Chain A
Amino acid sequence: MIAFDRVSKRYPQGHEALSEVSFTIDSDEMVFLTGHSGAGKSTLLKLIMLMERPSRGQVVVNGQNLKAMKPSRIPLLRRDIGVVFQNHQLLFDRTVFDNVALPLLIAGYSPRDTGRRVRAALDKVGLLAREKSMPITLSGGEQQRVGIARAVVNKPSVLLADEPTGNLDPALSAEIMQLFEQFNQVGVTVLVASHDLALISRLHHRILTLRQGRLIAQGAGD
């Protein structure tokens, strides 16, 4: 569950990136976040992960008010939120397996559990055969799927994606969105930021629309 209550964000010496944004996403929902470049999509996602803090208003994730959260608790919050980035943020000095295993290493899983979970996640995104490859040898779509495997390997309750299909062709983009839908079907709250209106309006999910930091629509898709 993600709830924003009149959230505003002003960057130091900047204009307001978000103004009075309020919405609620239920635990079993998959929601798209759209708007032009600069509308505030990335800022909104960063507030959920506490990469930024709101200037005003409250953000509640899974019943936890982030305002009251001590810095030492932030790692625990992030372990329960999977994130996928447009530039996938993979580490190129280690194998696909080690990239995906990173959240498990951090969370303290035994090597045996780690192996099992990493392979399950790689299987899910169709890259089980590439576990020993280096990320640089993969295509853009494959790299993105490694990023997704890493985001879900710890079975987070929330999955965030910031322009996950930005660099991909339409067919690959549709595949990626299907993956997100599968995770949503097993109970993961999914929030995907994308300006690819053509793609997201074909999928039947709620769409939050930002314009210059204001939430101008939060109705159902289509």
Chain B
Amino acid sequence: MAVGASQSRTGLGDRLRSWQVHHRLSALDSLSRLLRSPVSSLMTWLVIGIALALPVGLSVALDNARSVSVGWDSPAQISLFLRSEVSMDAAGLLRERILERSDVASARLVSRDQALEEFRQLSGFGDILQNLDDNPLPNLVLVTPLGGDGQAQRAAELQLALQDEAGVERAVLDMEWVQRLNALVELSQRAVGALGAILCLGVLLVIGNTIRLAIENRRQEILVIKLVGGSDAFVRRPFLYTGFWYGLGGALLAWLVVAVALWWLRGPMATLALLYQSDFVLEGLGFLDSLGLLVAGALLGLLGAWLAVARHLSAVQPR
């Protein structure tokens, strides 16, 4: 039968080789088509690049913020401000009692006189304080909770328990700001995730629409290919590669934008870290993150192209 015969005219090995050849041709041809209209391609790449750079840049910033809060390994401290009527003896007893707790590492009693002296030295307000008739500071017990896993949680529980001790005016957990930062980082991560999802959807639509236009532009070619026996896969291939290149190029641009932004921030960040006597360094995109960004971009491009092709290619039929 003739239809069968046309298949057997070429061997399987030949067909496989030519299939590879067509993949290579399609890939190169669609790339060179993009490069032949550099302005409009660059516009699309920029749109995709910026849309990808935004969530990627933000999540890099958040990773850095988290490394600050995680790197905060000085143990939490709870300051117990005692009521003014509590004597030093009673305060000593309270300290002993607290020390017996299993979740407390250490407790130190600071008398109001000691506290005033420390404050005088540290604050530089020495002269003004000299003129005070009365010491406004209360007696103080500084409690260090036991460290280890989940210390933030346990420190918070300890704070609540100590708050209820007799003679305690107020229990203040010094780690609170770290916790707030943590909570904020977590919240921001969700927000960035949502933003990322929305922007990825945007990228899909941009690529889909660009591919739709490409299909429209190459309508005649598609018709002729279908007329001379091109399979759907054959017709699809160059458009899928076009989407691939758009996605990959956009991801490359996004990487560049993030890298430049980080480079731009590195100097001021170092100064800031120095002011806070921190050895914090701004972390950029690692190798795996960069690779992930490129792969994600290329996959988004492929997916967008696939959606456009599935929707619009079947409408182009020879009549």
> Residues of A with Cβ closer than 8 Å to B?
46, 49, 51-52, 62-64, 72-73, 75-80, 83, 89-91, 93, 102-103, 105-111, 113, 150, 154-158
Contact = CB atoms under 8 A, between A and B. Distances in A.
Contact of B224 (A64, A89, A107, A108): A89
Given A51-B318, A62-B2, A62-B3, A106 B229 contact: yes
A191 to B, nearest CB: 15
B227 A49 contact: yes
A73 B225 CA distance: 15
Interface in B287-319: 317-319
Contacts, number: 93
A79 B220 contact: no
A77 B220 contact: no
Contact of A91 (B7, B14, B19, B221): B221
B33 to A, nearest CB: 10
B318 A75 contact: no
Contacts of B220: 89, 91
11 contacts: A72-B232, A76-B229, A78-B227, A89-B224, A105-B18, A106-B229, A106-B231, A106-B234, A108-B14, A108-B15, A157-B2
B6 A102 contact: no
B18 A75 contact: no
Interface in B1-33: 1-3, 5-7, 9-10, 14-15, 17-19, 21-22, 25
A113 B5 CA distance: 17
B223 A107 contact: no
Given A62-B2, A76-B229, A102 B10 contact: no
B228 interface: yes
Nearest to A114: B18
B126 interface: no
A73 B5 CA distance: 14
A139 to B, nearest CB: 20
B230 interface: yes
